[in-house]
Amino acid sequence: MTKAKVGVVVFPGSNCDHDAYHVFKDIVGADTKFLWHKEGNIGDRNIVILPGGFSYGDYLRCGAISRFSSIMQDVIRFANNGGIVIGICNGFQILCESGLLPGALLRNENLKFICKTVSLKVENNKSIFTYKYGIKENIDIPIAHGEGNYFCSEETLAGLIGNNQILFTYNENPNGSVYNIAGIQNLNRNVMGMMPHPERASDPSVGGTDGVRLVQGIAESII
């Protein structure tokens, strides 16, 4: 039985919050609850999920307004103290806007919304997020975004590569992301952001299951 206590943050415009809740609670069996963005703290949660969607309608920039939601101050405190935080799609954008992860997510190179399953390569399987995968393993995970084009400076990219912070890359880049980046972690290895949706590839009743090992690994990392 996992000791994970998962909090799924809900912003106005989130639309993948129930997907994440279902996978952590019903597939993995973790104690899971929703956290409304106006709550001042995350309570007793030891894992925080920032789910996909279009928080605040993606006004200004994706994640730019959500970054200032009441709960984010506590999420930032939690992450800076070593707490596990995962941002998926819009959640990845929020993490970058919050400064918890480097870089930014720009409009897709073709300026179109892309919704399809893509092939990812596992670039690092020595993290709490990826240890259930094989190194260089190819996995199929859905994407659904219009602003998934990861960008960072050359200096930041060199750091990501040198510090083994790149977790997933696209085998065929769908959006123009630098270095084919699909997911990264912070230097302290406790914050992860990725544009693809592992929660949409974790239940055999709705499709593939290549994402479930990521979810299981995160939950089982709490001891």
| Active site amino acids | 89, 197, 199
Rg (CA), the chain: 16
Q: How many CB atoms are located within 10 Å of the residue 90 CB?
A: 29
Helices (H), 34-191: 70-80, 90-98, 154-162
Which of 21, 17, 108 is CA-nearest to residue 62? Answer: 108
Helices 70-80 and 90-98 pack at an angle, to 10 degrees, of 70
In order, the DSSP letters of 25-85 are IIIS--EEEEEETT-S--TT-SEEEE--B-GGGG-SSTTTTGGGSHHHHHHHHHHHTT-EE
The encoded tokens of residue 176 equal 């123009």
Q: Is the dihedral of CA 150, 142, 82, 94 positive or negative?
A: positive
Burial of 201 (0-12, 13-18, 19+ CB in 10 A): buried
